[in-house]
Amino acid sequence: MLFTELQSILQSPIWQTAPLLPIEHIAVDSRKLFVPENTLFVAIKGKNHDGHHFLAEAYEKGVRNFVIENEKVALPFRERGINYVVVKNSIRAFQKIVAWHRSKFTYPVMAITGSNGKTIVKEWLTQLLAEEFNIVRSPKSFNSQIGVPLSVWQMRAEHTLGIFEAGISQVGEMEYLQRVIQPTIGVMTNLGSAHDEGFKNREEKLEEKLKLFENCSVVFLPANLVENYPKVVEKFPKKNPQAQVFFWNYELSVSKNAVSFVKKGFQLTCKLNSTLLPFQDEAYLQNMALCAILMHFQFKIPTQEINKRLALLKPVSMRLELKQGIQQTYLIDDSYNNDLAGLQIALDFLANQDQKPAKVVILSDILESDLSGKKLYQQVARLISAKKIGFFIGIGEKIFEHQEAFRDIPLTAFYKDTEDFLSKGFFQQLRNCVILIKGARKYAFEKIVQKLEYKAHRTVLEINLDALVNNLNFYRSRLKPETKIMVMVKAFAYGNGSVEIANLLQFHRVNYLAVAYADEGVELRKNGIHLPIMVMNPSEESFSLLAEYHLEPAVYSFEILQKLADFCESEHLSLKIHLEFDTGMRRLGFEPQDVGVLLGILQKVPFLKVASLMSHLAAADEEQHDDFSLKQIQTFQKITQNLEKKLPYKFLKHILNSPGIVRFPEYQMDMVRLGIGLYGVEAGGKFQGNLQPISRLKTVISQIKTISKNDTVGYGRKGKVNQKSRIGIIAIGYADGLSRAFSNGVGKVRVRGKLVPILGNVCMDMAMIDLSQVPDAQVGDEVIIFDETHTIQDLAKAIRTIPYEILTSVSERVKRVFYSE
């Protein structure tokens, strides 16, 4: 596409002073660009972000083509050359552009909607139909107003089938997705409770969803809709007389084949013998049945063949995991599939990791593409170069054959297969870098992951980076756009992992970070964090570190101020400092009456520059203390006004912590200090529903034994049972963060969906649990200490502490795995 074509597609006037290079990519995020010269940047105004603010950044990176709502941002670039089109609504314009692109292709396009299972059905169909079709599909679960056009934009002439997901959260959205996808085959997985809040009732939601299928020639709906929503279902064929509407269903059977089919009029039933299928969970059976029905009735695959392929189905993992590797590496484990769209997403994720100086990609042959080998690997090489990857390792016959395509990458190595790579022992040289490991399943890259993975014991804290971003955005949405955010990453980012979390926060453009001690700040600096960092407890011994690593101390007493001034004077340095006032917490801080003396000193030491003034609320989360909080705020305001009058320069003012942000938004001043809320706990309680729990602590059962009524369990013989019982020994103890206060039934953990009590005293590295309620538990089973349903709030309540303590107690020896869905 050429930029000038937008004039007729969008019916809007264009400005064109930059050369016309073909548009191959469309981007909505200036941080996620591939080949900027060939990119169209769409500036979208969202709830928390406005793409227009990043136009300049995209321009500097080389983008010249823009869709914008506000012409002002483009004016400064007119002389230097820019192409832009001004529209009323960028999202709608984006959708129109992609709808135009979509209409160029005549191969079948399937749209999948429904409350659950869209992604898995799409991914499985892609596995199951790989022999017949070259499929273009939504990456991950891209199914929103922006995700859908990003997906459909990937359609190319060489594909032979499109499979796209569509998801909505309120009335009026589906027609836009329909126009982008223009599906010919419609599929609904089910209708459940997801997004009910956006609709009057389920009928309305169903009607909205069905709009996706207008103009489809064939539609597959779940059979239970007929009973549950007869009126809506009756209307559908009348509105869409050209469509053949089928109702799909499944039932369990004991026949000798995994699946067989029955057709009665428009009722299609798949009979499943679950014992012959790779997954037995109810939800999986439903998804497999739907895939089988589509293969049989739509794609006419022989039943025998369907049986064969279903047996080989592989689990679907959409997760990108960031783990600690050996030799100071991080691994991004994406060893499940490999296609071009997935590669772009994984490369973006890699490019965002600035913790290490070097980035490495280990990539297998790409199987799910029909581009000719040479063209395909040239395209891959361009993506790799675009992300400035210094070292590329290709594994597989095809990539080996086409290694010429990668000649522009500084360092490369190629191997014919995974065994060859592993046997050369070369990976031992990978040090101090972030490594993306991405391979199609048959290359068994999990073997590479196993070799490189850092093996701590089997207790793991999993951290959901998407949930963190959700929580950050919730607090952002409560702030004025100009209010800055300082995020507290003290205490290992509340126990989660400071380097990784700081890196994510840097990517998401928070303004400041804060740590308790200088060492924590140094650790961040050594791992690629360049945001300003405040240190709350600077000690005299740490002054030279502060200076060397550009850390900004909070100064809370005359003593420390004087020592800092002496240090700067003798070293001929200047430092930014933050003045902390005690307005009622009775913790660190100057007293309000210190202001006069303080001013006198500050005027004599101009090399100490006040970057901000701060105070801390003692009870921001509790309504009963609101008068006290307001008094603290007033006291602080008096102090700031006084200093503002007398200091010759500007500084920031801040007093709100997480509960303060939601409870006293009118006092957000220049900056807020976000802590616990980012980590998923709304201390005030009222907005807990807006936050997502970010972590899950889990371990495994190491051993199971049966004990008799007379036995006792553990130290001090505290654990007792009143009948012959099965007990499990689990691999987590108080040294890992499972407080000893959970001993003797005070704490519970979850095994196979059931909460079971801790038996006896928690030991240092392990604990015992009562498995009488879970007779099918086995050694190796996962044991959940806390997660989104058995929450840290529940744990805190059980031992009468606060969630902060549960979070920060998870010891550093517990392995952290960070993931993004």
Ligand X SMILES: *Cc1c(COP(=O)(O)O)cnc(C)c1O
Taking a C-beta distance cutoff of 8 angstroms, is the pair 674, 512 a contact? no
**Interior angle at CA 268, CA 267 and CA 273, nearest 5:** 135
Least distance in Å: CB of 655 to ligand X? 9
> What are the backbone dihedrals phi and psi of residue 293, each rounded to the nearest 5 degrees, phi first?
-60, -45
**How far apart, in whole angstroms, are the C-alpha atoms of residue 363 and residue 382?**
14
How many residues would you count in the chain? 821
Least distance in Å: CB of 162 to ligand X? 46
Q: Is 110 annotated as a binding residue?
A: no
> Does 675 interact with ligand X (rule: CB under 6 A)?
yes
Least distance in Å: CB of 594 to ligand X? 18
End-to-end CA, the chain:
31
Residues 289-308 that bind ligand X (CB under 6 A): none
**How far apart, in whole angstroms, are the C-alpha atoms of residue 778 and residue 785?**
17
Taking a C-beta distance cutoff of 8 angstroms, is the pair 27, 39 a contact? yes
Angle, helices 626-646/595-604, rounded to nearest 10 degrees:
40
Instruction: Between 90 and 615, name the residue whose CB sits nearer to ligand X.
Output: 615
Taking a C-beta distance cutoff of 8 angstroms, is the pair 523, 544 a contact? no
Span from 5-13, 269-277, 316-324, 674-682 in contact with ligand X (CB under 6 A): 674-682
Least distance in Å: CB of 510 to ligand X? 13
> What are the backbone dihedrals phi and psi of residue 187, each rounded to the nearest 5 degrees, phi first?
-135, 130
Least distance in Å: CB of 806 to ligand X? 13
> What are the backbone dihedrals phi and psi of residue 777, each rounded to the nearest 5 degrees, phi first?
-60, 145
Given 87, 676, 730, 814, the residue binding ligand X (CB under 6 A): 676
Residue type at position 546: L
> Does 683 interact with ligand X (rule: CB under 6 A)?
yes
Instruction: Between 463 and 683, name the residue whose CB sits nearer to ligand X.
Output: 683
Q: Measuring CA to CA, which residue among 494, 241, 528 is closest to residue 359?
A: 528
HSE of 21, CA atoms in CB hemisphere, 13 A: 16
Instruction: Between 537 and 811, name the residue whose CB sits nearer to ligand X.
Output: 537
Instruction: Between 436 and 676, name the residue whose CB sits nearer to ligand X.
Output: 676
Binding mask 524-563 for ligand X (x = CB under 6 A): ----------------------------------------
Given 296, 663, 673, 698, the residue binding ligand X (CB under 6 A): 673
Instruction: Between 394 and 675, name the residue whose CB sits nearer to ligand X.
Output: 675
Instruction: Between 167 and 584, name the residue whose CB sits nearer to ligand X.
Output: 584
Active-site choice (45, 416, 715, 720): 715
Instruction: Between 461 and 620, name the residue whose CB sits nearer to ligand X.
Output: 620
Span from 118-126, 221-229, 345-353, 676-684 in contact with ligand X (CB under 6 A): 676-684
Q: Is 526 left (phi over 0), alpha (psi -120 to 50) or beta?
A: alpha
Q: Measuring CA to CA, which residue among 718, 721, 696 is closest to residue 707?
A: 721
Sign, CA dihedral 251-257-258-260, equals negative
Least distance in Å: CB of 807 to ligand X? 10
- The secondary structure of 62-75 as a DSSP string is T--EEEES-GGGGG
Q: Is 587 annotated as a binding residue?
A: yes
Instruction: Between 39 and 658, name the residue whose CB sits nearer to ligand X.
Output: 658
Helices (H) and strands (E) in the chain, counts: 27, 37
Distance of CA 298 to the CA centre of its chain: 35
* 513 three-state secondary structure: strand
Beta strands 725-730; 695-707: pairing state: antiparallel
Residues 472-501 that bind ligand X (CB under 6 A): 488
Helices marked H in 274-339 — which ranges?
Answer: 282-293, 303-311
Nearest residue relative to ligand X (C-beta): 675
The tokens describing 103, both together, are 């209409």
> Does 343 interact with ligand X (rule: CB under 6 A)?
no
Sign, CA dihedral 623-627-630-636, equals negative
- The secondary structure of 117-150 as a DSSP string is -HHHHHHHHHHHTTTT--EEE-STT--STTHHHH
The tokens describing 661, both together, are 């942000």
Burial of 436 (0-12, 13-18, 19+ CB in 10 A): buried
Say whether 480 is catalytic: no
**How far apart, in whole angstroms, are the C-alpha atoms of residue 236 and residue 812?**
57
* 30 three-state secondary structure: coil
Instruction: Between 663 and 673, name the residue whose CB sits nearer to ligand X.
Output: 673
Instruction: Between 183 and 538, name the residue whose CB sits nearer to ligand X.
Output: 538
Least distance in Å: CB of 476 to ligand X? 15
Residues 639-668 that bind ligand X (CB under 6 A): 657-658
Least distance in Å: CB of 466 to ligand X? 21
Active-site choice (490, 653, 698, 748): 490
Least distance in Å: CB of 472 to ligand X? 13
Contact partners, residue 586, CB within 8 Å, separation at least 6: 618
Span from 70-78, 163-171, 203-211, 671-679 in contact with ligand X (CB under 6 A): 671-679
Least distance in Å: CB of 677 to ligand X? 6
Tell me the site size for ligand X, rule CB under 6 A.
Answer: 10
Given 209, 296, 438, 616, the residue binding ligand X (CB under 6 A): 616
**Interior angle at CA 699, CA 698 and CA 705, nearest 5:** 140
Least distance in Å: CB of 682 to ligand X? 10
Taking a C-beta distance cutoff of 8 angstroms, is the pair 390, 38 a contact? no
SS3 content of the chain, % helix, strand, coil (to 5): 40, 25, 40
Least distance in Å: CB of 661 to ligand X? 8
Give the DSSP H/E element, type plus range, for residue 361.
Answer: strand 358-364
Say whether 715 is catalytic: yes
Taking a C-beta distance cutoff of 8 angstroms, is the pair 180, 152 a contact? yes
Binding annotation for substrate: 587, 764
Binding site for ligand X (CB under 6 A): 488, 616, 657-658, 673-677, 683
Active site positions, annotated: 490, 715
Binding annotation: 587, 764
